[in-house]
Structure 1
Amino acid sequence: MNVLFVYYIASGGMDTLNRQRCLALRRHGINGHCLYYQWGSGLNNASDIPTFISNSDLEIKTILDQGQYGAVIVTTDYPSLLRFRSLGYTGKIFLEIQGLGSKETARIELLTAQQYVHAYANGLINPNTPHIATLFHELYTHTPKFMFNNCFDFTRFHYHAWPKLTYRVMAWMGRIEENKNWREFLHIGSHLIRGYDASFQLWMFEDANLSRPEERQAFHELVQQLELEKHLQLFSNVPHTEMANFLSIIGDSGGLLCSTSIMEGQPYSILEAMSCRCPVLTTNSDGVSNSIYHNETGKYYSRGDIDHAVHEAIDLMGNAPLREHIRSTAVHHVQTYFNPDLYCVQFINMLHSV
């Protein structure tokens, strides 16, 4: 069977998810293809997965006709349910929600999506994000719902030993935009540099193609205001295969990954850090609840409370027994609950059940 995964742009977590699940499903006899409406930096990652870049109805119809897809998985873009049906596709279509911003935005979007889902979709998919699951049950009483964790290929993305740095690093991954809450990361870093370790370094991994000019200007102004220029490095569009090395180095430096997001679906950045023994400090951005358990697989802090974040970060860096417990437990958790073969079994059961 062929399956088509559809998203706006080949970048970020969706690019990672689509590549990983296509490779996993291949081992189970399902050929995954990807369609993106526009180019993204994720296409720089080497892959033999059939991938199409088009937002043309004529080209998409050709892709659908030639692919003979048993199912199409549309992520976020619910108007495409009508679009694909109008282009003659008669197979199974699922709307997948990996994240829709704030709870308020998610409610508005899923209310708007109702007319498309009820008329054209065979089911809904979500990776156990609590607020999305609640909305699914409230707004889509009679629509089949499938909720299971995303897959993570820990055999390809895992810890590597490198020479140890002479300074600690706190990392951040995301886009320079409001929901990722980059301002809070800079303030946390500033407090740690001034009150804990003057050699502390901040590494921020981003896709510079996805930020608005005004947001980037505000970012540079805050960096200057907090006098972080000598402590901050920006990395844009690091190849995915190299990120395992960076995260391993950060973990071994005695540092951590700090996720400051307001709301997330099921962020790959956290799973990647956990797999590489890089401990995680995060806000309770809802979608992380299946991966982070406080003082077991990572740590939480209260969003907006800089003092609390600093306290938890210092405990994570200075409490050696707790730190090693979290690093080891996190690896085991990812390998157990985000196992690609488990994902494939649940995905295939979903296809057969509708």
Structure 2
Amino acid sequence: MAEIPFTRPHLTGGELASIAEAIDGRRLGGAGRFTQTCESWLERRLGCARVSLTHSCTAALEMAALLIGIEPGDEVIMPSYTFSSTANAVVLRGATPVFADCVSDTMNIDVDDIEALITPATKAIMPVHYAGRPPDMDRINAIADAHGLIVIEDAAQSLGSTYKGAPAGTHSHLAAISFHETKNVVSGEGGALIISDPCYVERAAILREKGTNRAAFMDGLVDKYTWVDVGSSYLPSELVAAFLAQQLEATDSITKDRLRLWRAYRDALGEAADTHGLILPARIDADAVPNGHIFHVLLANADQRAPFLNRMKEHGIQCSFHYVPLHTAPAGKRFGRAPLGCPTTEDAAARLVRLPLFAGMGEAESGRVVEATLETLKEIGA
């Protein structure tokens, strides 16, 4: 019986032709026609002031940190349950990530923690959309407004998700999304900075072009370009953008297919949650609609995870755990702090497993995953 992988990048079938077109055009560096095509598509879809395509979501987060002027002595509040890129964007500016706990049914930041973590040094809040499900942005923005803080959404996993009916990543000053091969819509490596506050548009173009005003020069606004600010090389190549242009057009169909699988998993495992002590992801509500990026469960206890993963592998099914909480990681202890502790994060992270989920996964495959999951839970005595 064929092995079911944990994930498989979706291909539209048009990527090679798009790349060939970019090659034929002899314009392979960044900021060409395909880059502009992707940015325009995203701006229409998201309804934001501007989108800057980047070579990774990490780069977009770093640009956001530069744009808001994070500097040594500043603090930025973020969940401990996230990837290192969220914290690195802050640490690279000499500032301190301050880690908040999560809530176990979404693995998103515990908004109740945020206000208690604010100090005179706090510059920003960086909520993460775990599994593509937006956190409570209304409450987060209300806290930020009350304290004069900036909000940057790490929406790496969220293209196709919505919050209160609007696209995820558009409920803050700045946001970052990812097109890494593990995401729903992919370009191998890639990302984008979402700019909702127009005051950041002009400088973002300079930062992305190595601190030069090249973008203004290309638009005919200056007669030559030169170094005017800090910056780095954040642009993707036209080959990457050409691949992504095809992927973006399939966003709705990919999202629909992944949500079909997400709902099927949750419905099929609902009874098992009571029987085996599982915690399933919160049901989808009208306020926060995810894009089916991840389906995770929390096992009854941490000791069950290793045997669960091993037994599922024997069934020919690749499952995975996820992040090591940043406040417990060597670099997290060195560069950050968690004044309130993160007990829910530590407990949930040790129990979390992710089931295979990818666009194009058939009912036979998803049914086999459910059957193996239920059998494995019995076998390990869960």
- TM-score, normalised to structure 2, is 0.32
- TM-score for both structures, normalised by structure 1: 0.34
Q: Report which of the two has the higher share of strand.
A: 1
Kindly indicate which of the two structures has a greater share of residues assigned to helix. 1
Structure with bigger RCO (C-alpha 8 Å, 6+ apart)? 2
